Amino acid sequence: MSVNPSDNGGHIRILVVDDDPEILFGTSRTLAKSGYEVLEAKTGEEALSMAIQHWPDLVLLDCMLPDQEGTEVCAKIKAIPALMNTMVVMISGVRINLEYQLQAFSKGADGYIARPIGNQELLSQVGAFVRIQRRGNSLRQRAETIAESYPRFDSNLNTDEIQRLIHEFQVHQAELEIQNDEVHRTQVELEKSRDRYAALYHRAPVGYASLDEAAIIREANQTLSTMVDTPLGQLIGSPFSRWISETDRPMFHSFFPTFYRYPKGKSLDLHLVHGPEKKTIISLQGNKPEHQDTLTAANIRSGLIHVVAVDVTHQRQAEKNLQESETRYRIVAENAFNWEFWKDAEGRLQYSSPSCMRITGHSADEFMQDPDLMTKIVHPEDMQKWSSHEALVSTTHVKGKLTFRLILPDGAIRWMTHECHPVYDEMGRYIGIRGSTTDISSQWFTEQAMKDSEARFRTRTKQAENARKLLDEELKMESEGRLANGVAHDFNNLLGIILGHAEMAMDQVSPEHPIHAGLTEICKAANQSANLARKLLIFARRQDIDLK
């Protein structure tokens, strides 16, 4: 059973047609909270059925429905005589062009609303249509009353024509009110947008400029003015190349035409001059917009190029310093005598200098591909020492040093000294280990040879000392023998004199004389002394003697 608008109790009935459940729910809830009676439909066929059954005062019709276009649904609603006075407002989730809007109006649409739209703005526009709808109903009722009061009224102007005229008036009045609201909102938004644009444009962290075909600055922002230390008024109308260093101007002039050939834009580094010795390095990017709707007519005719100047002075200096640092490090690392390496906090090898090939016989790539390669080439007798060192450094993060042996691919054994140092970042966090390994084989063998030589030298020195002691002893004994020999000879000479005189004296006295006994003792003692002298001679001549 159809519902007559007169039975609506004075309320406005609105049919919302949209296939998006969230949009349908949000729109319906907003309208219902404002006192409207709301009906819902998700397809074109469902909208037609609801419109015929309930006679809505206003239909908010989505332009794109799953079963048919919104303009076709609008035409079908308007083709029903009972719904001729129902206002149909097309609503779209995207900005559609003017041609589509005109097509919608030609199908009988009474208005158009574009999303995204806020709840208050939606209620404002719906309210405008509702006011026109109410005035139209009032005008229609008055026209019908006039027609009934004057039966002889011009028959050429029948009731349908009056209603059609009233409806056209409604549509026209609605359009005027909506356009008036739209113009007012547009003016407000335009002023806000202009203020936002000025703030964003002039306070942007990069320089903006629009250049004509001769690379003359037609527009620029305050940031670019600050970059070249020149007032904005003097910047406008000047050649862009005036603010570029002389060495970079030829490059800019040859590069500038590419902005026209490549609309998506190119970039190059230039030096801006501002002051006697001050230079700013900028990365200049430019493009010529392709789409007409993004440019003003004047910009399109003039063929302006929009450029962006990004201050990259510190970045380029940092890149230069980093490159120089990397170059120095690479030269040192790749030509280092020792084998330098770096492991991260998890113990994974991140770098190995090329000298590992000379020291171990294995390339840096081999060590990178096989994390256990080092363990495989350590001498078995030094494996325990190596494992203890690795465990100590990795768990306690302390520096460690050890000497061990490696086995080369050809079976040769080399002595190594290995030293590790923990590395921390500026926050004090442990980030890995830096290590250095040195081949000390020649040094080790030299030290061993020196030790052997020192041992032999000490042995020979000891032997020489012993020989010198023997020689000294022999010299001492020889000296003593010579002394003893001299003493024995002199003593014998004296004994000979003593014995000769004693014997002569004995011959001159008789045996009974008291002196004779004394002379006898003197001769006896002299003979004993002569025997002692003979023994001294034997000692001096190193002959065996019987010591008693």
Delimit the domains of the chain by residue range. Answer: 5-191, 203-318, 336-439, 472-540
Q: Residues with Cβ < 8 Å from 404, sequence gap 6 or more? A: 378, 379, 382, 385, 386, 415, 416, 418
pLDDT given at position 262: 55
**pLDDT tens per residue across span 389-413:** 888 888 888 888 888 888 889 888 8
Asked if residue 160 has pLDDT above 80, the reply is no
Considering the chain, what is the average pLDDT of its residues?
A: 77
504 burial type by CB count under 10 A (0-12 exposed, 13-18 middle, 19+ buried): exposed
Looking at residue 402, the DSSP 8-state letter turns out to be: E
Q: Nearest-CA neighbor of 108 among 83, 137, 139?
A: 83
Helices marked H in 107-118: none
Give how far Cα 6 sits from Cα of 2, 3, 10, 141, 148, Å: 12, 8, 8, 12, 19
pLDDT given at position 6: 37
Asked if residue 545 has pLDDT above 60, the reply is no
Asked if 436 and 425 touch (Cβ cutoff 8 Å), the reply is no
More confident residue, 178 or 342: 342
Average pLDDT value for residue range 11-35: 89
Identify any residues that bridge with 404 across adjacent strands, giving them in sequence order: 416
Average pLDDT value for residue range 536-540: 69
Strand 430-439 relative to strand 339-344, pairing: antiparallel
Average the pLDDT over each of 158-167, 340-349, 491-500 and give the range with the smallest value. 158-167
CA distance 539 to 12: 159
CA distance 299 to 124: 37
Give how far Cα 273 sits from Cα of 84, 225, 231, 254, Å: 72, 12, 14, 19
Give the pLDDT band of residue 542 (cuts 50, 70, 90): low
Give the pLDDT band of residue 205 (cuts 50, 70, 90): confident
Q: Residues with Cβ < 8 Å from 428, sequence gap 6 or more? A: none
Average pLDDT value for residue range 335-345: 80
Asked if 266 and 237 touch (Cβ cutoff 8 Å), the reply is no
More confident residue, 507 or 174: 507
Average the pLDDT over each of 9-13, 32-36, 81-85 and give the range with the smallest value. 9-13
Asked if residue 491 has pLDDT above 80, the reply is no
Q: Nearest-CA neighbor of 19 among 58, 55, 56, 73?
A: 73
pLDDT given at position 175: 61
Asked if residue 140 has pLDDT above 70, the reply is no
Q: Nearest-CA neighbor of 357 among 379, 372, 341?
A: 341
Q: Is-above-0.75 flag for pTM?
A: no
Give the pLDDT band of residue 37 (cuts 50, 70, 90): very high
Give the pLDDT band of residue 444 (cuts 50, 70, 90): low
Give the pLDDT band of residue 299 (cuts 50, 70, 90): very low
Q: Three-state SS for 407?
A: strand
Q: Which two tokens stand for residue 268?
A: 């190059």
- Percent of the chain past pLDDT 70, that is, above it, reads 73
More confident residue, 178 or 33: 33
Looking at residue 243, the DSSP 8-state letter turns out to be: G
CATH superfamily, domain 203-318, is PAS domain (3.30.450.20)
Q: Quick one: three-class SS letters along 256-270? A: CCHHHHCCCCEEEEE
Give the pLDDT band of residue 314 (cuts 50, 70, 90): confident
Highest mean predicted confidence (pLDDT) among 23-32, 178-187, 455-464: 23-32
More confident residue, 394 or 52: 52
Highest mean predicted confidence (pLDDT) among 46-55, 81-90, 116-125, 431-440: 46-55
Asked if residue 40 has pLDDT above 90, the reply is yes
pLDDT given at position 17: 92
Q: Nearest-CA neighbor of 96 among 141, 51, 63?
A: 63
Asked if residue 95 has pLDDT above 60, the reply is no
- Percent of the chain past pLDDT 90, that is, above it, reads 4
CATH architecture of 5-191: 3-Layer(aba) Sandwich (3.40)
Give the pLDDT band of residue 264 (cuts 50, 70, 90): low
Average pLDDT value for residue range 15-38: 89
Q: Three-state SS for 176?
A: helix
DSSP 69-94: BHHHHHHHHHTSGGGTTSEEEEEESS
pLDDT given at position 32: 92
DSSP 370-385: -TTHHHHHB-GGGHHH
CATH architecture of 336-439: 2-Layer Sandwich (3.30)
Q: Would the CATH topology of 203-318 be identical to that of 336-439?
A: yes
Q: Which residues of 154-167 are buried (b: 16+ CB within 10 A; e: fewer)?
A: eeeeeeeebbeebb
DSSP 2-41: ---GGGGTTPPEEEEE-S-HHHHHHHHHHHHHTT-EEEEE
Q: How many helices (H) and strands (E) does the chain have?
A: 18, 15
